[in-house]
Amino acid sequence: MDVVRILLVEDDRSIASSLVEALGADGHEVTHVGNGAQALAADEHDMVLLDLGLPDMDGRDVCRALRQKSTAPIIMLTARSEEFDRVLGLELGADDYVTKPFSLRELLARIRAVGRRTIDADNAGTSRDNAPQVIGPLVIDRRSRRVHLHDDEIALTAKEFDLLAFLASDVGAVRTRTEILENVWDAHWYGPTKTVDAHVAFLRKKLGDNGWIEAVRGVGFRLEPPS
């Protein structure tokens, strides 16, 4: 994997120092800031590691603001174990999360996985043969990573788009949660499968009809036009 320019947003100096050293040893360029204001004022980076417990702003507000001005992947670092906090962070545009305390091995694996998905998306965007997919009134353009429903564009997070595109790769077929995690997240995903359900809920809401994504009890999900 190429060098990733990482913006580390972490107010705990001891944690930040350890992460800067470890990430640097792994070959990455790391810029550390200690609060939300500095994060929003920082130059563009390839990836953001964002602690939610910041001294000046709620990390979720920082996540929302960063997503509005940048497409760089965001990995949340959070001591909050409640599922609501993790799901809300993902809904605000984060690409992944790691719950403290975490191992350096896990964090590096998440960084590599998110980086690979970003590269794959960029490569897909350069393909001239990747024509938009039309599923009834739904149009998925993988080259531009845009989605239109009844000619209206739907704003999706990077992960929501990846999930929709994967389900749409075989319309009507049931995809298991494990398949979805391996293809949309990573083959070595450490998190719960409920992450899939949360993102499906976000997608259903944005598509405006739960019928687009059907849950198959005990198996997974299928995408097809509502009846």
The predicted pLDDT at position 190 comes to 54
The predicted pLDDT at position 183 comes to 82
Count CA atoms within 13 Å of residue 132 on its CB side. Answer: 14
At residue 198, the 3 state secondary structure works out as: helix
The predicted pLDDT at position 211 comes to 94
The predicted pLDDT at position 218 comes to 87
Instruction: Compute the chain's Rg from CA coordinates.
Output: 18
The predicted pLDDT at position 198 comes to 86
Same domain flag for 29 and 135? no
Structure tokens at 167: 């389900």
Following DSSP, what letter does each residue of 102-151 receive, concatenated?
--HHHHHHHHHHHHHHHHHHHHHHT-TT-PPEEETTEEEETTTTEEEETT
Same domain flag for 88 and 180? no
The predicted pLDDT at position 188 comes to 52
Count CA atoms within 13 Å of residue 151 on its CB side. Answer: 0
Number of domains present in the structure of the chain? 2
Q: Which domain holds residue 188?
A: 128-223
Same domain flag for 114 and 176? no
The predicted pLDDT at position 84 comes to 60
The predicted pLDDT at position 126 comes to 43
The predicted pLDDT at position 186 comes to 62
Among 149, 75, 78, CA closest to 117: 75
Same domain flag for 140 and 218? yes
Stretches in the chain below the pLDDT threshold 50: 124-129
Same domain flag for 69 and 152? no
Among 108, 109, 114, CA closest to 90: 114
